[in-house]
Amino acid sequence: MPYSVLQPVKRKRRSRSRRPLLLLGLALLIGAGSLAATQPWAHAHGQRSHREEAAIKPSAVSEQALERLRAAAVEQEVAANAPFAPGTRLLLPAAPRLEELPLRPISAPAAILVDANTGAVLWAKRQHQRRPVASTTKIMTAVLALEHLPLTKVVRVNPLAPRAALGREGLRARERVPVWKLMYGLLLFSGNDDALELAIATSGSRGAFLDLMNQKARQLGLRDTHYTSPSGVVDRGNYSSVHDLAALARYAMAIPRFRAITRTHIAHVKWSKPTYAKTYVNKNQLIGTYRGADGVKTGWTTIAGHCLVASARRGGTRLIAVVLDAPDPYGDTRRLLNFGFANS
């Protein structure tokens, strides 16, 4: 009988395919086999079970071994931060390049002008004469502290530091201060207590730090230089020359952190109670008044007179000027820098 459109039609039920289940089972078998195969390889390559790891006991490290590791880390840090390769001439030995050109009289008995990019001496007056250098000594103190102490290291102020002669910023015995704060006190305020504290923190004692200062001077080829003080407050036996100070300034200004601090005009620094805060004003009067000035350090004692190591940059030219025992240190320095920029 033919089907009518009104007659219900019974459809045959399709059987469900078992193919997806078979594929899933096959995948599980393959995964289990792969896991089993990797166990010998993992064991052979050092992946131990929890029981094996629990059985391993760490061996104690001696204090001597730790000290050797610390010393090696410091040496690596110093090598990484060194701005010049060992043996590099910081100043070129050739005759001053601009000595034949007219320059207004310089009142200082010893002065120099240097191209900081090349190390060429542009103009000089008694460049190798050994003279007391007052607080420009702190350039070397800052260099060594930056090369040997992490800026974030917190030091406990040695009781000797607050008793440093003259020019103290007011460190308190046994207060805890990070190195970077002491650096502002050293280079902007020119604190003698900062200098002594950084010396002791770097080398363990004032005497050991003086040995380090003189060793560094020899390494840098500063033949006119000898240190008997980390601050320069002592003139006897503490001397350098405008040549060596310019060379040292070139080395120091290649250290980014040193450069960042010495170009700062005013720094507001939080402090622990009961001080709460300190404001450091850079004693270098060129900062903020002479275009391009970005360092470096002032100094004065009765014997040394007014000393100034200055740095300035305009465009691609950077100059370093040094005057010692100058009746008019800023006038002399401005004349030297203007002369250099005009003839560069």
Confidence of residue 20 (pLDDT cuts 50, 70, 90): low
Q: According to the model, what pLDDT value does residue 18 have?
A: 56
58-62, 160-164, 241-245, range with the lowest pLDDT: 58-62
DSSP code string of 162-225: GG-SS------TT-EEEHHHHHHIIIII--HHHHHHHHHHHHSSHHHHHHHHHHHHHHTT-TT-
Q: With 70 as the cut, is the pLDDT of residue 55 above it?
A: no
| Banded pLDDT at 155 (limits 50, 70, 90) | very high
What are the tens digits of pLDDT across the range 196-230?
999 999 999 999 999 999 999 999 999 999 999 99
3-state secondary structure of 51: helix
pLDDT exceeds 90 at position 342: yes
Catalytic residue annotation:
135, 138, 190
Q: Rounded to an integer, what distance in angstroms lies between the CA atom of residue 112 and that of residue 265?
A: 24
**pLDDT, position 59:** 55
What percent of the chain has a predicted confidence (pLDDT) above 90?
A: 71
Entry pTM: 0.77
In which band, very low, low, confident or very high, does the pLDDT at 273 lie, cut at 50, 70 and 90?
confident
What is the mean predicted confidence (pLDDT) over 94-107? 92
Whole-angstrom Cα distance, residue 292 to residue 150? Answer: 29
How high is the pLDDT of residue 87?
Answer: 81
| Residue 262 binned pLDDT confidence (cut-offs 50, 70, 90) | very high
pLDDT number for residue 247: 98
Q: How far apart are CA 314 and CA 329, in angstroms?
A: 21
CA distance 186 to 180: 10
Task: Return the percentage of the chain with pLDDT > 70, whole number.
Answer: 76
